[in-house]
Amino acid sequence: MLAWLQSVDGSIPPHALLVAEERLLATQNGVGLYDNGQKSPNHQQGTVHVTSHRLLYIDDARPELCSLALQLSTVAQSEYYNGFLTSSSKVELVLNSASTDDDDDDEGWTCAICAHENPRSLGQRRTHCALCGAVRPAKSTSAPAPANELQCTVCTFINVQGATSCEICGTPLPLPKPKSIPTQTNERQTMKISFRKGGDKAFYAVLKKALQAKAWKVTQTADLPRAEQGAGISGILNAVESNTSASTDSVASALKDLEALTAQAKSMVALASTLSAKLQQQSAQSSLSSSPSSRSSTPLSSSTPTPDATSFIQRSLYNMGLTLSEGPVVQSSDSNSSGDERRYLDELAAEVGGLLSDGLMGGRGMVGLDEIWCAWNRARGVALLAPETFIAALQKAITGRGLGLGMRTLKSGLIVLHEPRLSHASFCARLLSSTPPPFSGTVEDTQVWHTPLDVAAREDVAVALAAQLLQAAEDDGLLWRDVEPFGGVRWTRNVLKDWTWDGD
Amino acid sequence: MALRRRTLPSGFTLPSIHSLHPFFTHQTVPTTLAVQTEHWTRLILSYARHARLFTLGVEDADLKTGPWADILYNPEIARSVKPAHLESLIATLVAQGKAYYDPPKQTRTVLLLWRTLDEWAEVLFTWASDTGQLNTILTFYEIQEPELKSELSGIPTPLLRRAIQALIKSSRAQLIDGTEGGGVRIFASTR
């Protein structure tokens, strides 16, 4: 019963069943299958999907057991029957049974040379690795390759399958014997898809197109140039280069999108500023017109909403992260808008303060501002913050909210946030307390070495930051450095200050 | 002061700082570097005086057995002064007038002045008068390689010429050009 079809696990959504170059073209539910003119009892209620390579039947009742897949490449012929009275319309497919037993369905495989994982593909199986072009080894399921096929006749070295000359002595290898071609049976099988809920015409049109497109052959030809790239390092380099250019293209197009978005944002700002200008104009006019007429009730009601509206626009702009650099809204710095800005900064400070006390530091003693900025922006989603705004808010958070954190600029210019114990003064004090006072022992005792690595371990900071902390202490003349013969740098207490000449 | 001072077989006592690793590293912090350079120049000059060394070159930094190896290389801590560091030390010596480039127009070799030229002139005059050789013509060789070892033994010719120039300036000597090397006549003091 439909034995020549492959069974698939229909409980998996059809999109996940597709392989690399396969595309889902159309779907129709409420179909049943006929096998050689007979109703197939297990396949009477299901959904059929046509992809560029396959026809998938997913059974409604028992998807994991009764679902089937048919390679379109095995379809020799298709016919369409209109429904008549109780008979629903059907599509008949005449199948080439001979080609079905060939292992068309290509499992994914890992290249033995470059370890590239070649994806599963349909149609004709890949014979070469997509990345380096090395010949694909024989299926691992078959017994270990017959050794004599690739054993060098001269030096008896057993070569990799697919090699044309011996790896050791360069002697041309005998070509492996071609596989015995399975005897073709000319028996023809037919299957029918019965459309019980309609949709037949549209589905058949798509199926017909897919059969004509012969996607399983197209992928093969698309693979050809890659095979021509040749094997070896240059082949790999070419493949990597083409991948890189493809990703560059996609990044470029993505950035183009971003630029378009920025342009939109600019026009938004312009719109908002004209709006607020209009509102201010209106409020000026209304206060002019209302003041002479009646002073009792109208001035209040007509002029109060306008500042609110202005500030609302500004607030929403701030919320969107669009700050008005030269717009008239900020320029006309009446008490209202500057107050808004201050409040905006205050709220930002509260937000970042919350983040910091929620463990943004991650238990580390010292974190670069770039990291905090990225983490905060990630938390904010689309409302990104400019670095200046970020630093202003952070300074406010540190001075105003008592987070118990300090900020310092390292020698490289990197600004970091640190716990109080890592401030310059307390770090240096701790560093020197671990060193005995100078000239108290032998040379070995006097010189306690500090390397970035062990400072990083002791102080729980990153190694690069530890090196900068040590350099800051060195700049103060507390340490001096020793460059070891192989280039490593280590620091020890600078004794020059307290030392007096004791030689001849 | 428990830091060990090392006394060389020649009798020269190295300062204790010489056995610290960082002393051999070209320091990067200006204040530290200034102190370090000061100690180095002092060490170089006092060792040169001790060992009667007149020339110092950048190449000496690489010689583990040369005349300068005792101070430029410390085998106990496996540290040596790097050529670039030595070149900057030499430049400092020249800037302080404790050395001058010889031959001129290069920066790799210097003549060290652990005595100033005037001091050398005085030494030359004293030696001449002590050995009773005033008012006689002396060849440079007689001054550089006297039968009895003197303060002036082995003094390089360029340095000797400069010392004589200093004597000439106070009109106590006269340079006599000859076909071979030349000579000098030192007069009795005209003071």
Give residue B47's Cα distance to chain centre: 9
More confident residue, A110 or B47: B47
Structure tokens, B76: 């106990």
- If phi > 0 it is left, if psi is from -120 to 50 it is alpha, else beta; for residue B182 that is left
CA A278 to chain centre: 45
C-alpha separations of A234 from A19, A71, A130, A230, A460 in Å: 28, 36, 13, 8, 45
Chain B touched by A483 (CB under 8 Å): yes
On whether any CB of chain B is under 8 Å from the CB of A212, the answer is no
From chain A, the residues in CB contact with B29 under 8 A are 474-475, 477, 480
The reply to whether A423-493 shares the fold of A315-408 is: yes
Residue B155 to residue B143: CA distance in whole angstroms: 8
Quick one: pLDDT at residue B147? 82
Distance CA A148, CA A135 (A): 19
DSSP H/E element including A70: strand A68-71
What's the per-residue H, E or C state across A426-476? HHHHHHHHCCCCCCCCCHHHHCCCECHHHHHHHHCCCHHHHHHHHHHHHHC
Give me the residue from A442, A477, A501 closest to B2, CB to CB: A442
pLDDT band at A81 (very low <50, low <70, confident <90, very high): confident
Average pLDDT of the segment spanning A382-387: 81
The pLDDT of residue A440 is 52
The answer to whether A499 contacts chain B (CB < 8 Å) is: yes
What pLDDT, on a 0 to 100 scale, did the predictor assign at position A148?
Answer: 47
Cα-Cα-Cα-Cα torsion B53, B54, B57, B62, nearest 10 degrees, comes to -10
CA distance A24 to A46: 17
Class of domain A315-408: mainly alpha
Averaged confidence pLDDT in chain A: 75
Across B88-143, the runs of DSSP E, i.e. the strands, are: 99-101, 109-112, 137-139
Q: Cβ atoms within 10 A of the Cβ of A169, count?
A: 12
**A443 part of contact set with chain B, CB < 8 Å:** yes
d(CA A491, CA A457): 16
Domain boundaries, chain B: 6-112, 117-186
Mean pLDDT along residues A324-345: 53
What ranges do the domains of chain A cover? 5-102+189-223, 146-173, 315-408, 423-493
In chain B, what residues touch A474 (CB-CB under 8 Å)?
28-29, 32
Query: Nearest chain A Cα to B71, which residue?
Result: A503
The whole-angstrom distance between B86's CA and the closest CA on chain A is 15
Please give the sequence-ordered ranges of beta strands (E in DSSP) within A316-444, or none if there are none: 366-368, 406-409, 415-418
Please tell me if the domain spanning B6-112 has the same topology as the one spanning B117-186.
yes
pLDDT at A2: 60
Global confidence as pTM: 0.51
- Identify the pLDDT of residue B83: 92
Q: What is the pLDDT of residue A302?
A: 43
Instruction: Give CA–CA dist A106/A245, Å, rounded.
Output: 28
Higher pLDDT: B89 or B147? It is B89
Q: Of A123 and A422, which is predicted with more confidence?
A: A422
Taking the CA of residue A458 and the nearest CA in chain B, the distance in Å comes to: 23
With beta carbons under 8 A apart, name residues in chain B contacting A481: 22, 25, 27-28
Token look-up 């209106």 returns A282
The H or E element that residue A281 is part of is: helix A232-293
Instruction: Compute the average pLDDT of residues B96-118.
Output: 90
Q: What are the tokens at B138?
A: 């002396």
Higher-confidence residue: A355 or A410?
Answer: A410
- Sequence-distant (6+) residues with CB within 8 A of A98 are A182, A184, A185, A186
Contacts of A163 (CB under 8 A, 6+ apart): A135, A150, A173
The contact set of B with A (CB < 8 A) is: 1-5, 12-22, 24-29, 31-32, 35-36, 39, 42-43, 46-47, 50, 77-79
H or E element, residue A209 = helix A200-213
CA distance A122 to A103: 10
Contact B36 A496 (CB under 8 A): yes
Set of chain B residues whose Cβ sits within 8 Å of the Cβ of A443: 3-4, 19-20, 77
Q: Which of B15, B22, B31 sits opposite A503 (nearest CB)?
A: B15
Report the alpha-carbon distance of residue A214 to residue A256 in Å, rounded.
35
Write out pLDDT tens, residues A434-479. 666 555 555 555 678 889 998 888 888 888 889 999 999 999 888 8
**Region at A367 (left for phi over 0; alpha for psi -120 to 50; beta for the rest):** beta
CA distance B65 to chain A (A): 19
Which of B6, B81, B9, B86 has its CA nearest to residue A503?
B6
**Nearest CB neighbour to B2, from listed A441, A474, A481:** A441
A344-369 burial, b if ≥16 CB within 10 A, otherwise e? Answer: bbeebbebbbebbeeebbeebbbbbb
Residue scoring higher pLDDT (B49 or A230):
B49
Least confident segment among A107-121, A286-300, B63-77: A286-300
Q: pLDDT above 90 covers what percent of chain A?
A: 1
pLDDT tens, position by position, A257-296: 888 888 887 787 788 778 777 877 777 777 666 554 444 4
From the list B12, B21, B29, which residue is nearest A474 (CB)? B29
CATH code 1.10.375.10 for A5-102+189-223: no
A182, pLDDT greater than 90: no
User: Is residue A53 classed as helix, strand or coil in its secondary structure?
Assistant: coil
**What's chain A's Rg over C-alpha atoms?**
38
> Is the CB of residue A191 less than 8 Å from the CB of residue A92?
yes
For residue A30, what is the enclosing H or E element? strand A24-35
Q: Find chain B residues with C-beta within 8 A of A477's C-beta.
A: 29, 31-32
| Secondary structure class of A184 (helix, strand, coil) | coil
List, for residues B139-179, the tens digit of each pLDDT value.
888 888 888 888 888 889 889 888 888 888 888 888 887 76
Residue among B10, B32, B76 with most chain A CBs within 10 A, to mutate = B32
Helices (H), B16-116: 30-51, 69-72, 83-95
- Any residues with CB less than 8 A from the CB of B129 and at least 6 apart, and which? B186, B188, B189
Instruction: Check residue A338 and give its pLDDT.
Output: 62
Are B18 and A503 an interchain contact pair (Cβ–Cβ within 8 Å)? yes
| Percent of chain A topping pLDDT 70 | 74
Minimum CA–CA partner of B23 in chain A: A482
- For the cut 80, the answer to whether the pLDDT of residue B102 exceeds it is yes
Peptide bond into B103 cis (omega under 30): yes
Shortest CB distance from B21 goes to which of A439, A447, A501?
Answer: A447
Residue of chain B whose Cα is closest to the Cα of A446? B3
Query: Can you read off the two tokens belonging to residue A59?
Result: 């059974």
- B37: confidence class by pLDDT, cuts 50, 70, 90: very high
In chain B, the residue whose alpha carbon lies closest to the alpha carbon of A497 is B35
Which helix or strand (DSSP H or E) is residue A109 part of?
Answer: strand A109-110
Query: What topology is assigned to B6-112 in CATH?
Result: Arc Repressor Mutant, subunit A (1.10.10)
Closest partner CB to A504 (pick from B28, B46, B78): B46
Please tell me which residue, B37 or A154, carries the higher pLDDT value: B37
| Choice between B131 and B190, residue whose per-residue pLDDT is larger | B131
Contacts of B18 in chain A (CB under 8 A): 503
Model confidence band, residue A324 (pLDDT cutoffs 50, 70, 90): very low
CATH architecture of A423-493: Orthogonal Bundle (1.10)
pLDDT higher than 70, residue A223: no
Which of these ranges, A101-115, A393-407, A443-457, B76-90, has the smallest mean pLDDT? A101-115
| CB-CB neighbors (< 8 A) of A494 in chain B | 22, 32
How far apart CA B191 and CA B172 sit, in angstroms, is: 9
First to last CA, chain A: 107
- The distance in angstroms from the start CA to the end CA of chain B is 50
Lowest-confidence region among A358-367, A448-457, B49-58: A358-367
Task: Please check the confidence at residue A102 and state whether its pLDDT lies above 50.
Answer: no
Report the pLDDT value the prediction gives residue A143, as an integer from 0 to 100: 45
Does A488 touch chain B if contact means CB atoms closer than 8 Å?
Answer: no
Contact B29 A446 (CB under 8 A): no
CATH 1.10.10.10 fits B117-186, yes or no: yes
B chain contacts of residue A497, beta-carbon cutoff 8 Å: 35
